[in-house]
Amino acid sequence: MKGVSQRHLSLFAAMSLVVSSMIGTGVFTSLGYQLNDIQSGFSILMLWLTGGVISLFGALCYSELGAALPKSGGEYHLLSRILHPSIGLSAGIVSATVGFSAPAVIAAIALANYLKPVFPIINEKFFAIIVILAINAIHAFSLRFGKFFQTWSTSFKLFVMFLFIFAGIFSFDKQNISFLPNLSDLDILFSPEFAVNLVWVSYAYAGWNSSIYVVGEIQKPGKNIFRSILIGTTVVTFLYLLLNYVFLIVSPISDLKGEIEVGYISGLSLFGAEYAVYISLLIGLLLLSTVSSYIYVGPRIIQAMGKDYDQLSFLSKTNKNGIPFNAFIAQLVISLIFILTSTFEQVVLYTGIILIITTTITVCSLLYLRNIEPDLKRPYKTWGYPYTPIIFVMLNLWVLFYTFTIQPIESTVGICLMIFSLGLFYVLKKENKYES
C-alpha cells in the first residue's frame, strides 16, 4: 500500500470510531418505544445505565481478545480462531449484514426522518439510498479522506450532543417528573418488559466493539484497543444518561411515547417550532457520522472472510490505496436490499437480538480461551475476570429469555439467519488457515 502505513489509526481515531458507531440512531429513536412499557423516570435511566454496564463489561472482555489476537475481522476472526471456522463464518456473515449494513441503513432512514421538518419533500428510502451511496464512495476511494471525515464528523456529533444536553439542563421550563426510586420501580427493574426493552438499548449501544474489527489498522493494538473501547464506551454511557434525562425533563411523556423522532420533539419543547427545525437538521447531520462508521468497518469483515475462503477470494482484493473495494460493493448491495425490503422496527429488533447472541458467544469464547491456552501472550487481561464475562453472559441470557418469550417471531427470524450462516460453511470450500 503506497503512502499509507498499515497501522494508520491512532488512539483518538480508534476511539472516534467507537464513539461514532455507538452514538446515533438508537439514542434518538428508541426512547419513545421504551415509554410504551415504562413511564418511570428512574426506571428509564436505570435501563440506559444497565445497557451501559453490559456494554462496558463486554468491552473489557473484547479488549483482551483483541489484544491477544490482533487481527482485523471482529467476531469472524476471533470465533474462527478460538472455537471453530463454521462458528466464525456464521458470526462474520451476521456482522457484515445485520451488524453493520443494517444499522447503516437504519441510521440513513432516521437521518431522512430528521431532515423532513427542514425538507418536507424528502422520500425516506430514496434519500437513504443516496446517503449510503455517497458514504460508500468516500470510504471506498480515499483512505485518508475517509479517516478525516470519520474523525471530524464524530467531533461534530459530540458538539451537538453537548449543546443539546447543556440547553436542556439549564432550561427554565421543566416537566414535573421524578427520578427518585420507589417500590414500584423495583418491580419494573426485574420485569419482562424491562428485559425486552434492553434490546432497544443494546442496539443503541451497538458499536462498542468497533475497534476490534479494524485491529490490523490500529497503532499499538496491545494498548490502544483497550483504551479506545473503554474510553469510548464510558463516554457514551455518560452522554446517553444525560441525553435521556434531558428528553424526559423537557417534553411530556405523552408527546414522546411511541414516537421515533424524540430529538425533534424535545427540540420543539426546548427551543420552540422556529428553532426546532435547526435542531432536527443538526441531529440529521450528526447521524451522517453513524452511517460513516458502520460503512467504514463492515467491509473489513467481508475482506477477512474473502482471504480465508476460495469462493469468496474476490472480496479480499484491494485497490491501489489498499482499500477492499469489492467488499465495499458487497456491503452496498446488502444495504440496498435492506432499504428496499425492511421496516425500521423490524431491522432494529433483528439487529438487537442477533448482536446480543453473537457478543454472548464471543465473551464465552474468552472463558474457553483462558482454559485451553493459559500461556497465550495477553497484553491486556480483563478486569474482574472471571466475574466480568460471567455477569455479561448472565445479563444477556436474561434479556434473550424474555425477548424470545415476548417477541417469538423476531427472535426466530434472527436464529434462522444464524443457522443459515452456520450451514453455509459446509457449502464453501474449507481451505482456511484456522484448519491448517
pLDDT in tens, 253-272: 888 888 877 888 888 888 88
The answer to whether the CB of 358 falls within 8 A of the CB of 99 is yes
The answer to whether the CB of 143 falls within 8 A of the CB of 4 is yes
- Give the count of alpha carbons within 13 A of 188, CB side only: 20
Beta bridge partners of 9: 218
Chain position carrying cell 429488533: 349
User: What is the pLDDT at residue 372?
Assistant: 94
pLDDT digits 0-9 by tens, 183-228: 888 888 888 889 888 888 887 887 787 766 666 677 777 677 778 8
Q: How far apart (Å, rounded) are the C-alpha atoms in residues 287 and 290?
A: 5
The answer to whether the CB of 114 falls within 8 A of the CB of 280 is yes
The answer to whether the CB of 279 falls within 8 A of the CB of 398 is no
Q: How far apart (Å, rounded) are the C-alpha atoms in residues 271 and 159?
A: 17
Angle at 125 between CA 121 and CA 128, to 5 degrees: 95
The per-residue DSSP string of 128-172 comes to HHHHHHHHHHHHHH-HHHHHHHHHHHHHHHHHHHHHHHHHHHT-S
- Res. 95 pLDDT band, cuts 50 70 90: confident
CB atoms within 10 A of CB 272: 9
Average pLDDT, the chain: 82
Q: How far apart (Å, rounded) are the C-alpha atoms in residues 377 and 369?
A: 12
User: What is the pLDDT at residue 240?
Assistant: 93
374, pLDDT greater than 90: yes
As a whole number, mean pLDDT of residues 135-164 equals 75
5 Cβ contact partners less than 8 Å away, ≥ 6 residues apart? none
Q: Find which of 13-27, 117-131, 374-388 is predicted with most confidence, using mean pLDDT.
A: 374-388
Angle at 380 between CA 374 and CA 382, to 5 degrees: 75
Write the CA distances from 358 to 278, 380, 401, integer angstroms: 38, 22, 15
Q: How far apart (Å, rounded) are the C-alpha atoms in residues 285 and 3?
A: 31
- Res. 146 pLDDT band, cuts 50 70 90: low
All three cell numbers of 3, joined, read 503512502
User: What is the pLDDT at residue 394?
Assistant: 95
* Short-list 384, 340, 342, CA closest to 366: 384
Task: Map out the domains of the chain as residue ranges.
Answer: 11-428
User: What is the pLDDT at residue 161?
Assistant: 83
Helix/strand/coil percent split, the chain, to 5: 75, 0, 25
The answer to whether the CB of 264 falls within 8 A of the CB of 192 is no
* Short-list 242, 239, 246, 238, CA closest to 177: 246
pTM for this model (two decimals) = 0.80
User: What is the pLDDT at residue 215?
Assistant: 67
User: What is the pLDDT at residue 436?
Assistant: 43
As a whole number, mean pLDDT of residues 267-280 equals 82
Please tell me the least confidently modeled range out of 120-129, 278-287, 341-350.
341-350
User: What is the pLDDT at residue 275?
Assistant: 80
Q: How far apart (Å, rounded) are the C-alpha atoms in residues 348 and 368?
A: 30
Q: How far apart (Å, rounded) are the C-alpha atoms in residues 249 and 228?
A: 32
As a whole number, mean pLDDT of residues 121-138 equals 87
All three cell numbers of 43, joined, read 426506571
All three cell numbers of 359, joined, read 457478543
**Which option is the CATH number for 11-428: 1.10.443.10, 2.30.130.30, 1.20.1740.10, 3.40.50.2300?**
1.20.1740.10
One-letter identity of residue 294: Y
CB atoms within 10 A of CB 241: 18
Beta bridge partners of 218: 9
As a whole number, mean pLDDT of residues 80-94 equals 87
Alpha helices by DSSP H, listed for 217-258, are 221-250, 253-256
89, pLDDT greater than 70: yes
Write the CA distances from 102 to 10, 66, 128, 335, 355, integer angstroms: 27, 24, 12, 6, 11
